[in-house]
């Protein structure tokens, strides 16, 4: 079953100038990962340091494989941008609503 992952990020003020390039590089790998159906980046209209990354995955297994790969690779460049730990939430479509 397809899954949508929301990765909620709060960046440091110091990271704002370099964040777009760093995120572009990180998300190129995400988009190329098996099972990734797409990635959209949303920036809070009142707070440019608040970013929501919306990822579409073919299945929870694909998402889990990606998270394991990313942890093994060490996304240290993302961690350098963050003012707080990222918040990851998964969603599935509800047929009953």
Q: Where are the domains of the chain?
A: 3-91
Q: What is the mean pLDDT of residues 54-64?
A: 98
Task: Report, at the CATH architecture level, how domain 3-91 is classified.
Answer: 2-Layer Sandwich (3.30)
pLDDT > 60? residue 75: no
* CA–CA–CA angle 65, 56, 10 (5° rounding): 90
pLDDT of residue 24: 94
Residues 17-40: tens digit of each pLDDT: 999 999 999 999 999 999 999 999
pLDDT of residue 31: 97
pLDDT > 90? residue 50: yes
Residues 17, 81 contacting (CB under 8 angstroms): no
33 DSSP 8-state letter: S
């Amino acid at each position: 079953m397809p899954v949508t992952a929301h990765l909620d990020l709060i960046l440091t003020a110091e990271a704002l100038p370099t964040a777009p390039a760093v995120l572009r590089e990180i998300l190129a790998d995400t988009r190329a990962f098996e099972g990734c159906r797409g990635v959209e980046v949303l920036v809070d209209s009142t707070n440019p340091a608040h970013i929501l990354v919306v990822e579409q995955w073919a299945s929870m297994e694909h998402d889990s494989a990606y998270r394991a790969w990313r942890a093994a690779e060490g996304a240290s460049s993302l961690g350098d941008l963050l003012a707080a730990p990222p918040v990851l939430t998964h969603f599935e479509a509800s047929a009953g609503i």
